[in-house]
Structure 1
């Protein structure tokens, strides 16, 4: 539904949209799992990640649990595998030892489940109960599969061996983007009550007042980050929190993940191919601790989650919060680097059509952006439809990331979408931008 608003005009249009999203998402899943041979599909490429074949059957199992059994009220297809594909009962490091469905059986299982779901889609009424209102349950399952597709893409980045994924390079910059943007003091609406497929942690909408602050006009680039490395940033505990410094030493961090020295410079391994680090691309594969240390070295800090969202959504002309920086229409290829269309971040200045009204660029796509905020529910949060999606992760152990990456699909990315992870994680497609408090002379009207 590229380039259109989010709410279809009637049930038949909604059915068509859901069918298209289910089909488009499954095609991506097939691409990621058919690009490798059976040995690579069943191998664990990192203890941080599942074997690809586990993700494959897991998305089918979730589709069966929520759509076939719950929404449809039908008999189970494979009740015997529920525990195998329960992400809370089976830690990632242990999944290779489980009696997982072999690839051919997993694919047949997904086909059986999908046939039942499409039959259900032809009959379901979208106003029966909150779970199915506006097609929410179907949207939740599409987003769940796309989230696992991004996880599988990260697994591909970790696998050894020759390249198997291919995509054109991202577009070149068309405008120069540098410096900072002032966001004036005042209230804005954070979160949403109106997006029909928004997940529970994006709700409810609420008013937040922020003092004036300044935020980077673009994500921190490789070139800027290389200056931090060259200045001894990884060797100076002044820039690191106690926990960050401890992790830097224990993990022996010296540069972003997938970087290596290349003569006087650096090279970066992208899905089986080595290439020189390009200075104008957003830095990717850094953890929260690295991002925080860079910000301190630069005399700044990471933005709070509310600061990030105001910069991304607030329209000073109308005072309202948009769905995306550019407006309420869904992303197109002109707005953002999303959906595995490219296999690395686009150079800064490549998406002027995606800028916010204040002139902040590339807030959506390219890299997930670390914020300083621990993951918690918005005021008035209610878990829906199950606690295990969000609520069980609330607390100081996780930091919020915003904005999506080049591997995030458009259906699982919007100005209110919230991601979270442990501060030490960097196998994800994570980068950041900096912020700081506005000086008194800057905040004067």
Structure 2
């Protein structure tokens, strides 16, 4: 392991064993400096203002209320000003694992999936909220001590929906993922209700940020037609569903493994009064 990478991981491990600011359960991420990024290139980054996260990812039942409010052509009055033509906020029904996912009440507590970034943006505006930035998302997931998972550094008996869970043992290499998950477990692996793993909780009370579904963020990198995803999903191995896990996906895309949660800006005075 290169010396620099070893040192940064040592620093992260040191910070993880220091007493952290008291954990909260109000889902408010305070403004401040956070340790972010993978172990080999850890960075200190500042969240400029406090923000309140949804405790859970947006569910099917919540998204159905939005669907009831959209226009006949599938757009809405909350659309992003740059939304391309021919974008509809109706889910990608041809990609849904279950055709009645947005109709059957049994899926009400499951995450809203197969919706594009444009739809996630419009839904957030519909609720008077917005999508989190990738930095805000990671800060909410790992707190100030740079923890690997929302609950800490320990992966034993992890409360997480990922490939390892479905296989029943660690999926360490890509070859193992192909042999032990993609050919067998993938047939049964799927998303689960957003409130099914209360132990998968960040220091701020935000739940299920690692695994289950990738989550859209407001962050784009080089291509404005793509956005950053965070957290990993049910078909990723545990090594890929850490608090620093990131992906890129086209904004028009929709997947059974991609959902989102919303945030709301709050005043510093609200944080100080709480």
Q: Secondary structure at the match of 1:396?
A: coil
The one of 57, 77, 81 aligned to 1:238? 77
Q: Which has the higher contact order (CA 8 A, sep 6+)?
A: 2
Aligned twin of 2:175: none
Aligned twin of 1:286: 115
Q: Secondary structure at the match of 1:414?
A: coil
Q: Secondary structure at the match of 1:241?
A: coil
Per-residue CA distance 1:239-262 (angstroms, 9 max, x = gap): 1113325241xxxx3521127xxx
- Correspondences of 1:346-385 after superposition (within 5 Å): 346-375=192-221
Q: Mark the structure with the bigger radius of gyration.
A: 1
Aligned twin of 1:418: 246
Aligned length: 227
Q: Secondary structure at the match of 1:294?
A: helix
Q: Which runs of 5+ in 1 are unaligned?
A: 1-126, 134-178, 195-202, 260-267, 376-393
Q: Structure 2-normalised TM-score?
A: 0.74
Deviation at 1:321, TM superposition (A): 1.6
Q: Distance in 1 between matches of 2:78 and 2:26?
A: 21
Task: Give yes or no for the alignment of 1:226 onto 2:64.
Answer: yes
Q: Distance in 1 between matches of 2:246 and 2:126?
A: 27
Task: Give yes or no for the alignment of 1:184 onto 2:18.
Answer: no
Aligned twin of 1:429: 257
- Correspondences of 1:256-275 after superposition (within 5 Å): 256-258=91-93, 269-270=96-97
Contact 1:189 1:205 in 2 (8 A): yes
Change (3 A) 1:222 1:190: same
Contact 1:190 1:208 in 2 (8 A): no
Change (3 A) 1:247 1:307: farther
Per-residue CA distance 1:49-81 (angstroms, 9 max, x = gap): xxxxxxxxxxxxxxxxxxxxxxxxxxxxxxxxx
Q: Secondary structure at the match of 1:419?
A: strand
Task: Give yes or no for the alignment of 1:212 onto 2:50.
Answer: yes
Contact 1:181 1:217 in 2 (8 A): yes
Q: Distance in 2 between matches of 1:180 and 1:289?
A: 28
Per-residue CA distance 1:279-317 (angstroms, 9 max, x = gap): 111111111111001001111000000110000001xxx
Change (3 A) 1:213 1:274: closer
After the TM superposition, list the runs of 4 or more consecutive aligned residues in structure 1 that deviate by more than 4 angstroms: 233-236
Contact 2:26 2:204 in 1 (8 A): no
**Aligned-residue CA RMSD (Å):** 2.7
Change (3 A) 1:322 1:247: farther
Deviation at 1:230, TM superposition (A): 0.9
Change (3 A) 1:285 1:397: same
Deviation at 1:187, TM superposition (A): 1.1
Q: Distance in 1 between matches of 2:215 and 2:134?
A: 10
Q: Which runs of 5+ in 2 are unaligned?
A: 7-24, 167-187
Q: Distance in 2 between matches of 1:331 and 1:270?
A: 30
Q: Structure 1-normalised TM-score?
A: 0.47
Change (3 A) 1:331 1:361: farther
- Correspondences of 1:386-425 after superposition (within 5 Å): 394-425=222-253
Contact 2:226 2:248 in 1 (8 A): yes
- Correspondences of 1:15-26 after superposition (within 5 Å): none
Q: Distance in 1 between matches of 2:193 and 2:241?
A: 20
Contact 2:110 2:193 in 1 (8 A): yes
Q: Secondary structure at the match of 2:53?
A: strand
Change (3 A) 1:407 1:330: same
Contact 2:33 2:44 in 1 (8 A): no
Deviation at 1:192, TM superposition (A): 3.2
More helix by share: 1
Aligned twin of 1:327: 152
Change (3 A) 1:214 1:444: same
Change (3 A) 1:396 1:331: farther
